A and B are shown apart, each in its own frame.
Chain A
Amino acid sequence: MPAEQSVKIAVRGLTKVFGDSSDEALALLRQGASKQQILDKTGQAVGVADANFDVYEGEILVIMGLSGSGKSSLIRCLNRLNEPTSGEILIDGEDIVGLGHRDLLRLRRQKFGMVFQHFALFPHRSIRDNVEYGLEIQGIAAEERAERATIALKQVGLEGWEDAMPGQLSGGMQQRVGLARALAVDPDVLLMDEAFSALDPLIRRDMQQELVALQSRMRKTIVFITHDLDEALFLGNRIILMKDARIEQVGTAEEILSAPATPYVERFVAEVDKSKVLTASSVMRRPRSVAFVSDGPRTVLRKMEDEDLNLLCVVEPDFRLRGVIRDEVALAAAQRGDKSIKDIIEPGVTPVSPETPVRDLFAPLSQTSLPAPVVDASGILKGIVIRASLLQGLAEQTIVSDEIQEEAA
């Protein structure tokens, strides 16, 4: 997938040192000194050390790490809320590190929308005026502002709240306003800094799902920061894992889970990863419809049409799994006038047992868009696992355990 996508942001050798004399710290960094060593020796705090990565057009790139790992410093370098100490940031091929004041303002106005952890809504402005802020400072006329603000608020499901003040809204609604404010300027890139971390677990999950739904329509380039592995797995097309100002690994969710690049990533994944105890049975879905071996091609086609599927599992009358049937094959058989589907059943993805750990499902499912059937010891179909339900299952599991912890606390 990455190979065919164009690069929106390219970060090369990006380093951020907080302090007034960064030269010494930079020299030490080049010698491979750690963040802590440099702090002890020079009193300079290294925020980001030699970061190299690309952000592809239209993807959600999640930057993940514990607090103090440098993820917030890194995202703030992208729109230069933090002035990079050295390195290059190319946005659409333009190095933004050397931009003068006016060009920097233009960059921030046109390319970026930002969403903040604690919402950062302006308490003295109404919801509409908050959403219009980015347009207002660009000098856009009042009617166009109002129109675009209305559209943005509608996108996040807050139409009708235009005249409320931020203080009157719940946390989840406030962050919708924060998202609408960023969307209203129609930016190329959305920067989301721990955008859902301050929300309670159920709201957080709703917002994650809505962001995914919005993204499927908008196709923005999103850089999303979180300290929560499950959020990263659910949202991220790719994930960057940071530790002590350095990037530990860049990869897809599957790559991070199945092939950790460093011992730190492995421990990070192991500590937070619920997928080891999670099994296929907890993330599988009941198949909405199945084909029986005795069905004809036309029956199968109608079942597919009813459920808007392009594939059905084929079972014996006692629900023992026989294989799968695809729509184009069924269509061809129907046109030939075949009376039975017996000859066109394909094997499909190798079935898994309900006890299979979820993390063993990532590898097979990342290769295919087909569902993996789940069968019990006697071969009876119990459910199917698709890639989306796999990740969603992970996210839900976390939310449930978060709630239990909160109740216990």
Chain B
Amino acid sequence: MIEIPPIPLAEWIDDGLDVLTDHFADATKVVSDVMESGIEGTVDGLMWLPPWVTIIALGLLAWRLAGVRTAVFAVLGFALLWNLGLWEPTLQTLVLVLMATLIAVAIGTPLGVAAALSSTAYRVIFPVLDFMQTMPAFVYLIPAIPFFGLGPVAAVFSTVIFAMPPAIRLTTLGIRQVPADLVEAADAFGSTKWQKLTKVQLPLAVPTIMAGINQTIMLALSMVVIAAMIGAQGLGGEVWRAIQRNEAGMGFEAGIAVVILAMVLDRITQGVTRRNQPGSTA
């Protein structure tokens, strides 16, 4: 019998990450510090306002974007969370989710456009997406720590990686779905590639891109909860504490808060999607 020695895959990955950490950790730590004060500043700012002001503001936003029912639900839901004493962790989670989504969309949409317009980009990007989406989410937490340290920024980093794939995929899908004769019409009038993209392809892809953003938000929310393990605060931290103390009731309270937050964010993004449907008179 020939004994095949185990491939030292884990060591290779560690070595690779070590090299990266050695070279970039100083830079990423600076980024981390800036972002962390940004996140904390935002949360502190929101906490400085009386909760009812924020709740009414969120309710108005929901009303404008998604209609009366979502607005009523949002106001009642957030009031419940305030009542349960979960106001601060809810805001922390909301800020983390929105920040991670913003970064994921800012990176993901251009990548999705590139994959839609260039088959080379498509062949490079899509296998990576498969990898990103099937890798267990917890694994991303580990390398985030040496780069960004324990805390909210490492959480945002791993959340961005976990939540970005739908933003990319659905942008690509949305652009590829634009009817061929509309693209042909744009070409026939002498549009440049950029004009074709910005005046025809992207506007028509908006509903699909919005569906991608909706999924990104939902994934970000679930990841932010998991990221409590590396020191992200918020509702995930509450759940984490409940597990450690074996307090089911407290765990469910925080869990229900996540559900309420998820539903409000989902309805609002869906409302935005509907408003951008072509042919709608809005």
Contacts and interface: CB of A to CB of B under 8 A. Distances in A.
B187 A81 contact: yes
Interface of A: 79, 81, 104-109, 112-114, 116-118, 120, 122-124, 133-134, 136-138, 165-167, 181, 185, 191
Given A108-B188, A116-B184, A137 B279 contact: no
Contacts of A167: 278-279
Interface in B179-214: 179, 181-182, 184-192, 195, 199-200, 203-204
B118 interface: no
Contact of A116 (B181, B191, B195): B181
A137 B181 contact: no
Interface string B120-143: 000000000000000000000000
Interface of B: 179, 181-182, 184-192, 195, 199-200, 203-204, 278-279, 281
A143 to B, nearest CB: 20
Nearest to B181: A120
26 contacts: A105-B190, A105-B192, A107-B190, A108-B187, A108-B189, A108-B190, A109-B189, A109-B190, A114-B188, A116-B181, A116-B184, A117-B181, A120-B179, A122-B185, A123-B204, A123-B278, A124-B204, A133-B199, A137-B199, A138-B190, A165-B279, A166-B279, A167-B278, A167-B279, A181-B189, A185-B189
Interface on chain A toward B: helix, strand, loop, or mixed SS?
A: mixed
Contacts of A123: 204, 278-279
A161 B182 CA distance: 21
Nearest to A105: B190
B209 to A, nearest CB: 13
Nearest to A167: B279
B248 to A, nearest CB: 50
Contacts of A138: 190
B200 A122 contact: yes
A137 B186 CA distance: 9
A100 to B, nearest CB: 13
Contacts of B189: 108-109, 113-114, 133-134, 137, 181, 185
Contacts of B195: 137
Contacts of A109: 189-190
A108 to B, nearest CB: 4
Nearest to B189: A134
Contacts of B185: 114, 116, 120, 122
Which of A124, A134, A165, A181 is most buried by chain B, counting CB atoms within 10 A of its CB?
A124
Contacts of B190: 104-109, 134, 137-138
